Structure 1
Amino acid sequence: MGSLLIKYKQPKEIKNHVDPNFTFLTYGDSDSTKIQTIKRSISAGSHVFFHTSYKDQAFITAYYYVERVLTKVENANELDCLRTDSRHDEIVILGSRERSKILTFPLPFDKRVVDNLPSLNIDWSHVTSGRQSELKTISDPTRAHRELSAAEVDWLLGECKYRG
């Protein structure tokens, strides 16, 4: 059982397709590479952390404790019953209502956080040399879903504990 860090765009940027849906705790995807990563890494009991950027800063805004993973092939009827945009996707992650968290105070996804997530393997030399911003240095390598170690998940859960 693994865990993932997933980047998402704000709804206004994607023509109001709300995914992840933090009200119903769903996240869906139809990109073949991302589907394979989800199938390989995620099962009931996994954690999925979501991050986005806003006004030149990246933030971790929520995490799901995964209750189920549904696929269009195996769970078409259940997906059709969803009341979220995820129902149109090939694979859908459902978060647990009791163990997932939407952060009232998002966690700044900055150098301090990245330094505690060594699996991301982010090179800070571009920032120190002035060639690119901290946001770009974090955003570029985290566009694709990234797997997190158990220790990284524990650290992130601790950081999120008092954020609403």
Structure 2
Amino acid sequence: MSEHIVITYSAEKANEGHVDPNFTQLVYGDSGRKGNVLKKHLNVGSYIFFNARIGNKRYITAYFYVEKMLLKGDHDEEIGSLNCSAKEDEVIILGSRSFSKVLTIPLDFDRDLIGKIKSYDADNNYFENKKVSGIKELEAIKDKTLNPKVITEEEKEMLIKLCKNRG
């Protein structure tokens, strides 16, 4: 059975010219620790959900159905032919045009939603403890989403349903 991941990206970096993920070409790449997570947990048939902070909120903005995974050293010619920022990375995910989705209406990735994704272990106690420490909700969510999170098949299905009719 395929594993699935929720991963954070920087919308600010796209404004600075490093467009990764590239939602037009359905390409995402990463290296180092995050690249190793991709390599270990994703394969053809997996889903990767993307979230970013936009303004004072966090959103799920897209998901890719993994159609192909390219690895530096194994697929250098194909990687070299890519016309996007991801070609610099060690692990590159190519999303399926038929089964991936870029949301025109992003999905709020708030306390309620992260609480429903049990893999995050972000229940009310987590948020209350953060609040007592002076940490606000957005920062508490950021703390949980800094690293890629492997989610269950059921959580993947829930996210896909929530993304329906959003683009």
Q: Which runs of 5+ in 1 are unaligned?
A: none
Moved over 4 A (4+): 11-14
Which 5+ residue runs of structure 2 have no aligned equivalent? none
SS in 1 for 2:45: coil
In structure 1, C-alpha distance between the alignment counterparts of 2:133 and 2:40, rounded to whole Å: 37
Which amino acid is 2:17 matched to? N
TM-score in terms of structure 2 length:
0.93
Aligned residues: 163
Partner residue of 1:142? 145
- Counterpart of 2:4 in structure 1 is 3
1:155 corresponds to 2:162: no
In angstroms, what is the RMSD of aligned CA positions? Answer: 1.4
Instruction: Report the equivalent of 1:129.
Output: 132
Over the matched positions of the two proteins, sequence identity in percent amounts to: 36
Give 2:114's aligned residue. Answer: 114
The one-letter code matched in structure 2 to 1:126 is: N
SS at structure 2 position matched to 1:107:
strand
Query: Secondary structure in 2 aligned to 1:82?
Result: coil
Per the TM alignment, residue 126 of structure 1 is displaced from its structure 2 partner at its CA by: 3.5
Query: What is the TM-score when the length of structure 1 is the normalising length?
Result: 0.94
Q: Is the partner of 1:157 in helix, strand or coil?
A: helix
Cα contact 2:131–2:137 (8 A) shared by 1: no
Write the deviation string for residues 2-56 of structure 1: whole angstroms up to 9, x where unpaired: 000010001446731100000000000122x112211111000000000000111
